[in-house]
Chains A and B, each alone.
Chain A
Amino acid sequence: MSAPTYDLGKLHGGLRLDGKKSQSTAEPIHTIPIPSQLIQPLAQHVGDPAHPIVGIGERVLKGQLIAEQEGSLGAPVHASSSGRIVAIEAWPISRRFGDTAPCVVIETDGEDRPIERAETPPPFDTLPPDFLADKILQGGIVGLGGAVFPTSQKLIQANTCELDYLILNGVECEPYISCDDVLMRERAHEVISGAQVLLHALSLEVCYIGVESDKPEALHNLADALGEADDARIILKQVPTIYPSGGEDQLVQLVTNREVPSGGLPTDIGCLVQNVGTAVAIYDWIHDNEPLISRITTITGDGIATPMNVKVRLGTTVADVVNVAGGYTDKARQLIIGGPMTGKSVTTDRVPVVKATNCILVLSETPSPGPELSCIRCGDCAAVCPVQLLPQQLFWYACADDEKHLRSYGLTDCIECGCCDLVCPSHIPLTADFRKAKGRFRELADEKARAERARRRFEARNERKVLEEQHRLHELAEQKEKAKLAGPAAIAEILKRKRGRDKD
C-alpha cells in the first residue's frame, strides 16, 4: 500500500460546501435492467453531431457502431444493447443550448447480444501511442468529467506539447455527486490500469491521481490497488475538500503548483488532465473491447426515495433510472442533470442519460434566496473566485454589454463554478449573467466571421467583373484592329478581281 501525499500548491478562494455525498454512497453500484427503449443522441460530445450509419428497422447488436464521428472534435456512438432501430428523430435532451436534438431510438430485444469482435486485444504496451489514440477514438471515449471533449483529440493535441505530468481527476468537488467516488472504491484496479494505458499513450513517466480528502474509502482502495500494481510512476495525492478543487485548472494548480495561463490549457504548462471515469472507460475498451456504452451516474437528492449510484446504459431515460432508485418522493420539485452548482434544470424525465450525465439530482423546493438587489460592491465574490477574477467589475460591464472591458477583465477565463452567486449578499445571479455574456461573444464572433467572408467574396466578385470587362474590351479592340488591317487588303483584292473581269 502506498500512502497518498499531501504536498500541494495553493488555490485562491473557493468554498467549503456541505458535500451531501453520503446519501448516495451507502449502497453499492446498482445495475439498471435493460430498458425497453434506448434513446442515443448523436451529439454526446463537444464537436459536430455524429453521422448515423444505421437505417430504421435495422437490427443492431450491443456495442455496434451506429454513428460515425464528424469533424475533428467528434466521437462515434455505439448501441448500448441489442435491438431494432425504430426512429432517428428529435428528442428532448439536457444540454446548455437547445432543448431537443436528433437521437437514434433503439427498441431493445432484451437479449443484450454483444457484437462479435474478431481479435482478442493485444497488450496495450505493444501498441504505438498514435495507434492507441486512434483506437480510443473508435471506442467513442470522451472526457467523462462533464466536458465530454474527445479523449483521443486531447491525447493528439497533448503529444504536440512538451508534457511532464498526467493528472487523473478523482476530486469530484461538487456537492451530491459521488459517481467517481464509488467508481474509485469499486474499480480501483481499473483506474490504475487505465492510468498505465494513458501513460503509455503519452510516453510519460509521472501520473498523479488527485482525490479529495472527503473520500477516505476511495483513497484507501486506490492506495491498495497501487501497492499491488507496484508502479512507482503513479502517485496518489490527497487534495483539500474545497469547491472547486476539481476544476481542471484548479487541480493542476493544487497538484503541481503551476498556474494555467489566462486563455491557455494545462498542456501549456506540461500537464494533461483526465477524469478517473475516462481512465476506466479506456481500460474497458483497450482490455475488454467494450466501447463507451455505459457509465456510472449518481441519482440523489431529497426528491429520490433511495439515493444511489447506478451503472446505466447510455440512452436509458432518466425516468427509468428514477424507477430503479425507488421513484420520486412527495417532496420532489426540481430535476437537475448534473450537480447543484453547474448542472442544468430540465422539465421532463424523458431525457436520456448520455456520456456527460454524471448526476441526476431531484430536489425539493429550494427556498428562494430573496429578490435580486443592487450590487453593493462588497467584494465577497472576488474573494471566493478560484480564477482570481473580479466578478463585481465583470457584472458591471456585462450589464453595459461592454465587450472590450469584459475581455480585458478576463470573462473568458470564468469557469462558471457559481461560487460568486453563493456568497453574493444581493443575490445577483452572476454566473448566469456571465454565461449570457459569453454567449453574446460567440454570436458576435460568428457574425464577424460571416461578414468578413461575405466582404471577401464581394470584393473578389467585383475584381472578377472588372477583369471580365477588360478582357471583353481587349478582344473587341483586337477584332477591330484585325478588321482595320484586313479591310483595305480585302477591298484591294476585290478591285483587282473587278479590274481583271473588266479586261476580259
Chain B
Amino acid sequence: MTAISIAVLTITALALLAGLGLSYASRKLPAGDGELVDKVNELLPQTQCAQCGYPGCRPYAAAIVNDGAAINLCPPGGDATIRRLASLLGRDVQALAMPAAAERLIAVVDEDRCIGCMHCRNACPVDAIVGAQQMMHTIIESECTGCELCVAPCPVDCISLRRVA
C-alpha cells in the first residue's frame, strides 16, 4: 500500500515540476513564429528598401524566421542590426553581405524637371511622395526612408539622394 502511494506521489510531483517548467519556458522563450516575425521585424530599420531581396522589412523578417534566410542582408541596419538579430535568434554574427549604408539619405525631386508621371509615387514603399498625374511631385522629407526605390523608375532622372543635414 505504502509502495503504491509513494509511486503515485512521486509521479504527481514529477508531473507538477514538468508543468511548472513548461509554463516557465512558454513565457520566457520565444513563442510561435508569428510573434517571432514581429520581434525580428522590430529590429529591422524599416527602410523598406528591398536590398535584401525581399519586398520590404516584414517579408524579410518572415523569410529569416520561416525560410532560414541569412541575417546579414540589411545594409541600412548595418552591423548593429546583425548583432541584435544574432542575439535574438541565437545565430552567429556575420559580416554584412554587401557594403553598408554610410549615412542617412533622403530623396529629393528636382521640381523643375519633374513631368508628373506618377512612376516614383507608385514605387515608394512608404507613401512619402505626393503628386498627381501631370502635376509636379514632391517628397515628404520627414517620411522618406532613403530606400532609393524611386530613383530607377523616374524617366527623366529628376530624383537624387541627399545626405540629411
Contacts and interface: CB of A to CB of B under 8 A. Distances in A.
B45 A458 contact: no
Interface in B53-79: 56-58
B138 interface: no
B83 to A, nearest CB: 11
Given A460-B127, A461-B126, A461-B127, A454 B143 contact: yes
Interface residues of B, number: 15
Contacts of A453: 143
Interface in A443-464: 447, 450-455, 457-462
Contacts of B41: 455
B136 interface: no
Given A451-B45, A452-B46, A453-B143, A458 B128 contact: no
B45 A447 contact: yes
Contacts of B127: 457, 460-461
A459 B46 CA distance: 11
Contacts of B128: 457
Contacts of B126: 454, 457-458, 461
Interface of B: 41, 44-48, 56-58, 125-128, 143, 145
Contacts of A462: 56
Interface string A386-430: 000000000000000000000000000000000000000000000
A17 to B, nearest CB: 40
B111 to A, nearest CB: 22
A458 B143 contact: no
Q: Which 9 residue pairs of A and B lie closest in terms of their CB atoms, listed nearest first?
A: A451-B46, A454-B46, A457-B126, A455-B46, A458-B48, A454-B145, A454-B126, A461-B127, A458-B126
Given A447-B45, A451-B46, A455-B46, A461 B143 contact: no
A451 to B, nearest CB: 4
Given A454-B47, A454-B143, A454-B145, 18 more contacts: A447-B45, A451-B44, A454-B48, A455-B41, A455-B46, A455-B57, A455-B58, A457-B127, A457-B128, A458-B48, A458-B56, A458-B125, A459-B58, A460-B127, A461-B125, A461-B126, A461-B127, A462-B56
Contacts of A455: 41, 46, 57-58
Is the contact region of chain B dominated by helix, strand, or loop, or is it mixed?
Answer: loop
Interface in A152-187: none
Contact of A457 (B44, B45, B143): B143
Contacts of B45: 447, 451
Contacts of A450: 46, 145
A455 B46 CA distance: 6
Nearest to B44: A451
A451 B42 CA distance: 8
A453 B128 CA distance: 11
Contacts of B143: 453-454, 457
A459 B45 CA distance: 14
A453 B126 CA distance: 9
Contacts of A451: 44-46
A290 B145 CA distance: 46
A450 B48 CA distance: 12
Nearest to B144: A454
Contacts of A457: 126-128, 143
A451 B145 CA distance: 8
Name which of B41, B45, B46, B48 has the most chain A CB atoms within 10 A of its CB.
B46
B7 to A, nearest CB: 47
Contacts of B57: 455, 458
Contacts of A447: 45
A461 B48 CA distance: 12
Contacts of B58: 455, 458-459
27 contacts: A447-B45, A450-B145, A451-B45, A452-B46, A453-B143, A454-B46, A454-B47, A454-B48, A454-B126, A454-B143, A455-B41, A455-B46, A455-B57, A457-B126, A457-B127, A457-B128, A457-B143, A458-B46, A458-B56, A458-B58, A458-B125, A458-B126, A459-B58, A460-B127, A461-B125, A461-B127, A462-B56
